[in-house]
Amino acid sequence: MNGIILDKMQENGGTCYLTKITLSDFVTSLPLGYQDYEVQREIVTNTYLDNLIDTVLQQKHIPPIVLVIDAGKFTIQNEKITITEFKILDGLQRTYRLKLIWDSIQFFNAQVLLSDEILGLKRIQLSRRYSEALEKINSNSKLLEAIIKFYNEKSKPEQNAVVENCFNNYQWFEIWSGLTPQQEVNKMLVLNAGHKPVKTQHQLELLFLNLIPIIKKSGLDSFVLIREKDSNSTVFSKNREKGQFHFSHLITSILSLNEGKPITANVNLVHKTQSSDFDIEQFDNYFNYDFLHKFIDTLLKLDTAIKNQFGELGTKWMGREVSLVGMFAALGKFGSQESQSALTMLEKLNDTIVKNPASLNLTEYEVVRNSLDLSKINIGTVNKNAIYNGIYALLQNTEQIIIWSNHFKGQTV
């Protein structure tokens, strides 16, 4: 992909190049997994963006798209920049639709070469005849109709190349190099501040994005990491399979382990982790390969043991944030009182629950939980506190088996 640098600026060790690149060069240079960059969220519905076809065809202005490039993936000669690899920091929604429009134009051109019959078809006819082919490129008859209408409005000499020529228009890009992973995340959050709010769980994931490469290198093949943009935590908990863990649940579990009390993934937590007072170094014992490998290994062992003991009930229990947060908060409280290391605490959890999953007594847990008067309590808070207290009692060996009625008793908050 080639561009012309219009201006540049320095910021905190990074460099931003204001660059113009043709739309055609941009969309044809997109990597296959361009929409899978972890910093970005899922494709969302947006009426304005769905009508981007009109902006493209009329060659109107599209707001700048922000890219990030790594060292060795670009060269600069005078005012020209050549980029071999890039990631989209802001503008994924526009890019997705630009690629869709480009593919639709290529489809249209191919059909016109076969027969000009397509030029006289209405949307319903286009849908009936081409719906299956359009679905393969994520397109639809509305887009195809707009392209045909634009084509038919042009005079004969202009028609042959007029549609594709729309992508010869220049698009402005802010292209950043030299950013740290944390700087990339912070910029993404700022850039999205004026758009549809990024879900709290996804923001939390972004703040700990450096965990993903470590987790993926864990070598534990049965472990499946689910991101918020793949499946929100509510849907995930209902449809979870053994070995699957929601990333936001793992983060709040580690935070709860550190604090020794249940932590909730909410706006206040995100603000706290973004504040200048937030000390990331307090998590040095947790955000490293040795701990995370052991942490995931323990989760998988817990998952297997609890499913073997309680079946689907156990699988669902392990998929709830309240379960993991309550359990690891209790482990953190026990470990701090006993001055145990993080790795030693995980061994304690293994010895207490993995070797004796029946001690969880989940059958009674469900009976007691379902007997609560939901009109008088915050069920999430009550569940979390009950699990916190129950697991803590189990770790102290004050109970051989958790008596859940004791830990739900009197909870009305």
173 & 207 share domain: no
Q: How far apart are CA 133 and CA 107, in angstroms?
A: 9
pLDDT the model gives residue 183? 76
219 & 339 share domain: yes
Please indicate, yes or no, if residue 213 is contained in any of the structural domains: yes
Comparing 375 with 109, which gets the higher pLDDT? 109
Q: How far apart are CA 96 and CA 94, in angstroms?
A: 5
242 & 114 share domain: no
Q: Are 53 and 147 in contact (CB under 8 A)?
A: yes
How large is the average pLDDT for residues 390-410? 87
Classify residue 78 by burial, with Cβ atoms within 10 Å: 0-12, 13-18, 19+.
exposed
237 & 165 share domain: no
341 & 237 share domain: yes
pTM above 0.85, yes or no: no
127 & 213 share domain: no
pLDDT digits (tens, 9 = 90+) for 286-333: 666 778 888 889 999 999 999 999 999 999 999 999 999 999 999 999
How large is the average pLDDT for residues 360-388? 86
Comparing 371 with 286, which gets the higher pLDDT? 371
49 & 108 share domain: yes
Please indicate, yes or no, if residue 64 is contained in any of the structural domains: yes
Please indicate, yes or no, if residue 223 is contained in any of the structural domains: yes
256 & 397 share domain: yes
Q: How far apart are CA 36 and CA 133, in angstroms?
A: 24
Q: Which of 177, 210, 225 is the last residue of a domain?
A: 177
Q: How far apart are CA 47 and CA 64, in angstroms?
A: 19
Please indicate, yes or no, if residue 194 is contained in any of the structural domains: no
pLDDT the model gives residue 154? 74
pLDDT the model gives residue 386? 93
331 & 277 share domain: yes
Contacts of 184 (CB under 8 A, 6+ apart): 39, 68, 89, 176
How many domains does the structure of the chain reveal? 2
Give the pair of three-digit tokens for residue 309.
């003991």
Banded model confidence at residue 215, pLDDT cuts 50, 70, 90 = low
Banded model confidence at residue 236, pLDDT cuts 50, 70, 90 = confident
Give the pair of three-digit tokens for residue 402.
């958790």
Please indicate, yes or no, if residue 191 is contained in any of the structural domains: no
242 & 308 share domain: yes
- Listed range (244-248, 313-317, 384-388, 398-402) with the worst mean pLDDT: 398-402
- Listed range (147-156, 347-356, 378-387) with the worst mean pLDDT: 147-156
342 & 219 share domain: yes
Please indicate, yes or no, if residue 225 is contained in any of the structural domains: yes
391 & 275 share domain: yes
Please indicate, yes or no, if residue 274 is contained in any of the structural domains: yes
Please indicate, yes or no, if residue 193 is contained in any of the structural domains: no
For the chain, give the mean pLDDT.
Answer: 82
Q: Whole domain around residue 162: which residue ranges?
A: 2-177
